Amino acid sequence: MKFADLRVRAERWIADDPDPVTRDELRALLTHEDLGETDLEERFAGPLEFGTAGLRAVMGAGPNRMNRAVVARATWGLAHEISATVARADERVVVVGGDARKMSRELSDDVAAILAAAGLRVLLFSAPVPTPLVGFAVKRLGAAAGVVITASHNPPEYNGYKVYWEDAAPIAPPVDTRVSAAIGRAPAARDIERPSLSALRQAHRVVDASPEIETEYLEAVRSLAVHPNGGDRRLSIVYTPLHGVGGALARRAFEAARFTSFLSVAEQDKPDGTFPTVAFPNPEEPGTLDRALALAVTVGADLVLANDPDADRLAVAVSRTGGARDAVSRRVGGRDASLRANDIETPEAAARTRSYLQLTGNQVGVLLGHYLLTERPASSRPRAVVTSIVSSPLLGRIALDMGVRHEQTLTGFKWIAKRAIELEHEGYEFVFGYEEALGYCVGSVVYDKDGISAALIVAEMAAVLRARGRSLCDVLDEIARHWGVSVSAQVSITREGARGRGAIGAMMDGLRARPPSEVAGDAVVGMADYEAGVHVDFRTGARSALALPSSNVVSLELASGSRIIARPSGTEPKAKFYFDVCGSVGPADTVAEASARAEVAMRHLADAFVGPLA
């Protein structure tokens, strides 16, 4: 892009921008003598596109950033699509909420005002709320749609715009395509009507959400219990919302479920969009749970639970008792930190010392699915579980053995929710859905991932097992002995900016055009290209159609039964690679030995495959 043209586009944006802050931000950039030394080219690389259920980007001025102008045009397009296609849209409400990030309040208010000005009725959460609560409200109230201003687990400089449709599921094709087209027809942001909220409240076009919605949500979450009040509820739990908005609701949920030892990490308990104690508020990232784990060691907790900042994801760490003379370690995102035996000062401290294992998303998903299928009595309807294609195949093997329908979807919870709703319409009981990135949906209270309800069921499962003299780790071992060891890993390559998107696209194109014949000595025997909708068996040359919608995903099948999946992230500037290795536990093996062999094989696969790309 020539810099003269770039300057013209920036000045046009300034003229159309209703926000003085971002106008001044662009003016300051335009004072640079060399615009090539600024990030203007990246800011104007193109408009944000609807990705995983909406928009998400770094905050700032320009069409490729999150700001009031982008949100105004997105909301204008959304309002027109709702009015045009949703039955009785003007009689129903659109639910609007946001998290505690920078600008979430201002953007939520803008969304409410623009929707109301377009003739829709709005139910507005006037304080920061968890994303699952908005999804619940859309379903509970039969709303026409819902909007949440959130960037979920992204770094502090991000914000986002998530949309639920009238079915209470995250927006998915073809609706997202129609909304995108409507956004393209939107006027300049300065010309979009945005009345004051006080006037809209007086006209009853905007109504503040009642506290009863939170109470109804908590009652619905409580109804998911398999063993209400069962198990040893004295289980000691350390919890952190990671400076997010889940803390208050989570605490109420655990109090109602009569867990008597629920301790939150004090310095991370209150919402704070700057996330001062974590470098990256994603509970999958190394080090993010360090404070929770340190507190767990101090108090001798049995279980560590963490929600991400908008409380739709859940991380779990479990304890294993150690002795006074043992080195005590905790595993945090692939790193081991240890307390030496000499650090233990008293027998009392030694007695409560724990080591903590942070479970992967696949381990938590398999544990939850197995618990729900084995402990909850079957209904008169056939049961179904749903996972994404990048999640471990292990839950599918368990479901098959139990006569339960298992289906896979594309990555992104919008696909799991969409299929769950379809299965319910087909007469199935939707029991559970999950994706490996710490997202879990228990039942149909919320047609989306919900970190609060998942946390409560994990705690219930641990309490029930404890009363039986067992642990979550015991169940993982039993599953491995019965259905085999399954280990998984994800490796990401980050490429920032427009050039980065091009590089990631080139990686995917190269993999399709020139798939490897082997990886780490393991022959590649098949490839599924989800963009082309074709599966190819390299041994026979046979080609078959894939049932899922087109998506930029490539899956390689290896002779050993292992699997490699590649895809670009829908919310971050990353190429993501997923590795799954399965193995059996022999009669003379321990599960640890079988798992160690699979872990070694997985590391070899990952190093051999990703090394040349990085």
Q: Which of 41-50, 185-194, 326-335 has the lowest mean pLDDT?
A: 326-335
Non-local (6+) Cβ contacts of 248 within 8 A are none
Helix, strand, or coil here: 91?
Answer: coil
Average pLDDT along the chain: 91
Question: Residues 67-121: pLDDT tens digits?
Answer: 999 999 999 999 999 999 999 999 999 999 999 999 999 999 999 999 999 999 9
CA distance 124 to 278: 30
Tell me what percent of the residues of the chain surpass a pLDDT of 90: 83
More confident residue, 327 or 15: 15
Residue with tokens 């696969």: 605
CA-to-CA separations, 57 to 24, 82, 106, 239, 573, in angstroms, rounded: 20, 24, 16, 28, 10
Whether 417 contacts 342, CB under 8 Å: no
Task: Give the pLDDT of residue 354.
Answer: 54
User: Of the segments 324-333, 367-376, 598-607, which one has the largest average pLDDT value?
Assistant: 367-376
Flag whether pLDDT at 347 surpasses 80.
Answer: no
Question: Residues 143-174: pLDDT tens digits?
Answer: 999 999 999 999 999 999 999 999 999 999 99
Last residue of a domain, one of 360, 380, 412: 360
Provide the β-strand partners of residue 161. Answer: 55, 149
**Quick one: how far is CA 514 from the chain centroid?**
31
Question: Residues 399-449: pLDDT tens digits?
Answer: 999 999 999 999 999 999 999 999 999 999 999 999 999 999 999 999 999
CA distance 402 to 56: 40
Flag whether pLDDT at 341 surpasses 60.
Answer: no
Question: Residues 559-602: pLDDT tens digits?
Answer: 999 999 999 987 678 899 999 998 889 888 899 999 999 999 99
Q: What is the DSSP string of 256-291?
A: HTT-SEEEE-GGGSS--TT-TT-SS--TTSTTTTHH
Same domain for 388 and 309: no
Same domain for 471 and 382: yes
Same domain for 403 and 293: no
Last residue of a domain, one of 340, 360, 380: 360
- Containing domain of residue 602, as a range? 484-610
Tell me what percent of the residues of the chain surpass a pLDDT of 70: 93
Task: Give the pLDDT of residue 342.
Answer: 33
Per the structure, how many domains does the chain have? 4
CATH number for the domain spanning 92: value is 3.40.120.10
Whether 152 is a known active-site residue: answer yes
Same domain for 367 and 356: no
Q: Which of 83, 108, 126, 152 is catalytic?
A: 152
The three-point CA angle 465-470-475 to 5° equals: 85
Same domain for 179 and 57: yes
Same domain for 84 and 206: yes
Flag whether pLDDT at 194 surpasses 70.
Answer: yes
Last residue of a domain, one of 422, 443, 475: 475
Question: Residues 447-474: pLDDT tens digits?
Answer: 999 999 999 999 999 999 999 999 999 9
Whether 66 contacts 48, CB under 8 Å: yes
Question: Residues 254-280: pLDDT tens digits?
Answer: 999 999 999 999 999 999 999 999 989
Question: Residues 123-143: pLDDT tens digits?
Answer: 999 999 999 999 999 999 999
